Amino acid sequence: MLEHIAVRPEKVYLDCTAGLGGHVGQVAQQLTTGHVIANDRDAESLELAKENTRQWADRIWYHHGPFSRLGEALAVNGGRKVSGLLADLGVSRYQLTEAERGFSLQSDGPLDMRMDRGVGQSAAEILNYSSERELADLIYQLGEERRARRITRALIRARPLRSTGHVARVIEEAVPRMGKLHPATLTFMAIRRAVNDEVEELESLLRSLPRLVESGGRCVILTFMSLEDRQVKQGFQRLAKEGKARILTKHVVTPDDEEIRANPLSRSAKLRCIEMVSEEAEPVGD
């Protein structure tokens, strides 16, 4: 991501998914008079990012909000567009390892899954109150889970669903394991995407790029799901067709064997990059 964003030390950059501050810190290290805007919709992660990047705090501006409110993040830059934008769509390690956040299959916790715990429906509300058809469609469409109907019937029979461990056990008993993946992996992914309106938020980001990034600036997005990669690919192609961007990654960038051995979690990562080539007359913000 750092190679493709091509940081210039005097410019301003926007990390839409600050997480624990990994990319933010790497960008900040390369700046002199420039800044990086660290945005995340998870206020708890953002606080951890502040702690992890405190040595470069004079080069970082922090903003809390989803993709659909990124226009507000530019206020710290006087409303001006940034010279580059990063978005890592993977769930952060903090969210996955803190059982109380309700994202993980590995430890029992509440059915939450909200990236911003101050707003929206929790996973418990979706799993316990959706109709059978709504829940099955959601699991199939947002998780590409072909066994969605069978899983849904088992979940409804087991209501009220009490915790992440309870849901995982119900699904494990309902459908067989396929390969290394836990049988509940795709269902958890689908519920998380529904809870956080991830499809709509990503679409908002893609359509906002001309209003966020200046001409000549780059946008680098990293995905870990085929559905998200397809959405990014189509969004980038749309911008290129409209004459607003130039695609720099003719072929999607994936990790090589050496990187996968060193970091197994990278195995499904896909990176795409565009360069903005035209100015947008629309004002920043909503």
CATH number of the structural domain spanning residue 220: 3.40.50.150
Q: Which amino acid is at 233?
A: K
7 and 85 both lie in a single domain: yes
Q: Tell whether 203 and 188 lie within a shared domain.
A: no
Distance CA 189, CA 225 (A): 9
Q: Are 155 and 149 in contact (CB under 8 A)?
A: no
- Nearest residue to 109 via CA among 97, 118, 119, 117: 97
Examine the pLDDT at 227 and tell me if it is beyond 50.
yes
Q: What value does the mean pLDDT of the chain take?
A: 93
Q: Which domain holds residue 168?
A: 117-195
Local structure of residue 266 (DSSP, 8 states): G
pLDDT of residue 94: 67
- Residue 282: inside a domain: no
Q: So what's the pLDDT on residue 91?
A: 83
Bridge partners (DSSP) listed for residue 213: 82
DSSP per residue over 91-109, as a string? PPHHHHH-GGGS--SSS--
pLDDT given for residue 18 in this prediction: 96
Please check whether residue 262 is in contact with residue 52, taking contact to mean a CB–CB distance below 8 angstroms: no
Comparing CA positions, the residue from 198, 43, 52, 117 lying closest to residue 109 is: 117
Same domain flag for 207 and 222: yes
Q: Which has more confidence, 207 or 181?
A: 207
Task: Tell me the average pLDDT across 120-148.
Answer: 97
Q: What is the pLDDT of residue 166?
A: 97
214 plus 83 within the same structural domain: yes
What pLDDT, in 10s, does the model give residues 32-62? 999 999 999 999 999 999 999 999 999 999 9
Q: Supply the CATH number for residue 176's domain.
A: 1.10.150.170
Residue 279 has pLDDT above 80, yes or no: no
Q: How many domains does the chain have?
A: 2
pLDDT at 153: 98
Residue 23 identity: H
Distances (CA, A) of 12 to 31, 35, 81, 133, 206: 9, 5, 8, 46, 19
- The pTM of this model reads 0.92
pLDDT at position 245 over 60: yes
Is 284 part of any domain? no
- 280: confidence class by pLDDT, cuts 50, 70, 90: very low
Residue positions counted in the chain: 286
Q: Is residue 18 part of a domain?
A: yes
Q: Say yes or no: 204 and 253 in one domain.
A: yes
Contact of 45 with 67, CB cutoff 8 Å: no
pLDDT (0 to 100) of residue 120:
86
User: Is the pLDDT reported for residue 281 higher than 60?
Assistant: no
Asked if 157 and 218 sit in the same domain, the reply is: no
Give pLDDT, residue 107: 85
